Amino acid sequence: MKARALVAWNVRRIRVDLGIPQEQLAYDAGIDRSYMGGLERQAENPTIDLLDRLAKRLGVHLSEFFVQPPKGAAPPKTLRKGRKPTRSRYKKK
């Protein structure tokens, strides 16, 4: 697995395991949410400084971003999307 893919895999895995939304992690790291999404999709090439900020926010050592996943491991799942469903303004009969 290439380094960018490895970092993307592990950032997402750790973030999802901790239940931190992508938007919140991006805000805490001082980057745009769309950049965070690009990082997790391997479209962005993060600096070591950014990886350091992400590691601190996630409470892990920087080396955790370079751990090889087990052979045949499924990609990290995503958190539930969107906001809570809105309640109907009309009463059911």
pLDDT, tens digit, 9 for 90 and up, residues 30-60: 999 999 999 999 999 999 999 999 999 999 9
Per-residue confidence band for 66, with pLDDT thresholds at 50, 70 and 90: very high
Residue 14 belongs to what domain range? 3-66
Examine residue 83 and state whether it is found in any structural domain, yes or no.
no
Per-residue confidence band for 82, with pLDDT thresholds at 50, 70 and 90: low
- Residue 81, pLDDT score: 65
- The DSSP-derived string for the chain is --HHHHHHHHHHHHHHHHT--HHHHHHHHTS-HHHHHHHHTT-S---HHHHHHHHHHHTS-GGGGGPPPPTTPPPPPPPPPSSPPPPPSS---
Examine residue 76 and state whether it is found in any structural domain, yes or no.
no
The overall pTM is greater than 0.95:
no
Domain of 44, CATH number, reads 1.10.260.40
- pLDDT score of 79 more than 70: no
Q: Total domain count for the chain?
A: 1
